[in-house]
Chains A and B, each alone.
Chain A
């Protein structure tokens, strides 16, 4: 089992451009996605990623409060009452289609798959450690499985963890039947690789 875990504080730079192979996609990335791209690149540094390898990802709840705050603040400068017409006239033009990619909960998993050519069995879950472990345990194909989790907080802080595992390593995992958050699988793992020079991952 190889495990990687990282935490980036609010406002802290995530070095996605140092790792992303498909740089034109970076504009669609949330901080959670950036952290995931960096983590998977580090996990497989110098190694080949098997295209058929199953990949299961558990995302934290996307915090859209900043987005709502922006549109409501913008609206308040022109209207004092809420109306459908006002919403269309004043809010719609301020919403970038890029924001919609950031609202969709499967985007981090999809971008990690595109970046690494992962085409195998997959699923995207919300938060659940148990669901993530069961998905990996019962994956259809043999061999290693990539699992990951991410969590973005309202202030922009991001946690991210990934691991390449074999089913035998998780069949008796203590979190298999817990209601715990998936990110704790990685944060509390005794197998975290601390080999990185900044000692964070």
Chain B
């Protein structure tokens, strides 16, 4: 019995359909640009990876919480493509999803003087994430449970991790899991800017440089990716995209703003995921890292890999999708599963966009310029979060025979 991915749908800066996402991922088109969906006059940093349809940023009215809009579209397509509703009763459908902070249409809040209302009266311009997601779960008749994960950049990793564990422990469910996020609104974008993690490079296309010696910070992105996970014994063999073989999660308990520079607990998360998958480090073919483009992230990821893979770290190909689409925070693991699926299906590791100069403090083998073709059976996917959470997933190529 294996835990298998049998459906994957996505809306991201790469595009509006799975095919468009895969195509733009492969051709390496930069998808971070000057923000278009909100007026950024006066902003110091104006770059983000906004959701695009046919190459154009989708602009939505300010009374729409974009992460909920994306989720609705993605769920609709996932149901259509996988026929979940034909194979599983509502009580057998469960959703574990990572997401982010609430959305406020601050202009409407101000113009409508909603700030003058009593505190116990919910403003019309304030959109609570949990309530909206639960409404969508009701709409799609996902009656077996709806759990929302909220640990920032590992929220969707933890959602996928629990989904994997539920199935591994024998729950007979169709689990819809992943993440949905958009922080590209006045209050949330500025809030993230104030945390000091954003790039100092104001040229949108080059602003996020994972692993590069000149990296100065990250850039926000937005989007949604949802996976259908099933027990292989209940799945249509033809629909199997890949297996989730192992999951590990740890906490640095070091500092709120910085990763533990020793990277011991990130290494421990990898060790736990490998143990869970029942494999040794030598079977891992490539690593899809968190790769935020922040100064402290790359050395921590390098040190963690060094502790697990030893000298092999210098020849183990690594990749980050954030140079191309930005950091999607609550949905980053789910959206970055696109890169993992690409590696497994096409047997190649893609180049990391904007990586040009190797950092002596993080001498990773970052693929450059063109995809690296190689046999890929196991991919290690790492993510970490502000606050000290570390996650590791082992994804395996499924043998249909």
Contacts and interface: CB of A to CB of B under 8 A. Distances in A.
Interface stretch (A1-9, A37-45, A66-74, A188-196): A66-74
A122 to B, nearest CB: 5
B96 A126 contact: no
B130 A127 contact: yes
Contact of A128 (B147, B151, B268, B387): B147
- SS class of chain B's interface: helix, strand, loop or mixed? mixed
A137 B165 CA distance: 10
B136 interface: no
Interface residues of B, number: 70
B149 A123 contact: yes
Nearest to B387: A110
Q: Using C-beta atoms within 8 Å of the partner chain, give the interface range for chain A.
A: 35 or more
A85 B162 CA distance: 43
Interface string B182-199: 000011001110111000
A61 B41 contact: no
A104 interface: yes
B303 to A, nearest CB: 16
Interface string A97-120: 101110111110111011011111
B195 A121 contact: no
A68 B106 contact: yes
Contact of B162 (A59, A83, A109, A131): A131
A87 B105 CA distance: 13
5 contacts: A25-B256, A61-B129, A110-B388, A123-B249, A124-B151
Given A103-B191, A104-B152, A122-B249, 19 more contacts: A65-B119, A75-B110, A81-B111, A87-B190, A89-B42, A91-B190, A97-B194, A104-B386, A106-B152, A106-B387, A110-B251, A114-B254, A114-B256, A125-B147, A126-B130, A127-B130, A128-B146, A130-B147, A154-B119
Interface of A: 25, 28, 51, 55, 59, 61-62, 64-66, 68-69, 71-73, 75-76, 81-85, 87-89, 91-92, 95, 97, 99-101, 103-107, 109-111, 113-114, 116-128, 130-131, 134-135, 137-138, 140, 154-155, 177, 179
Nearest 7 A/B pairs, CB to CB = A131-B147, A110-B387, A88-B42, A72-B115, A105-B150, A138-B165, A124-B151
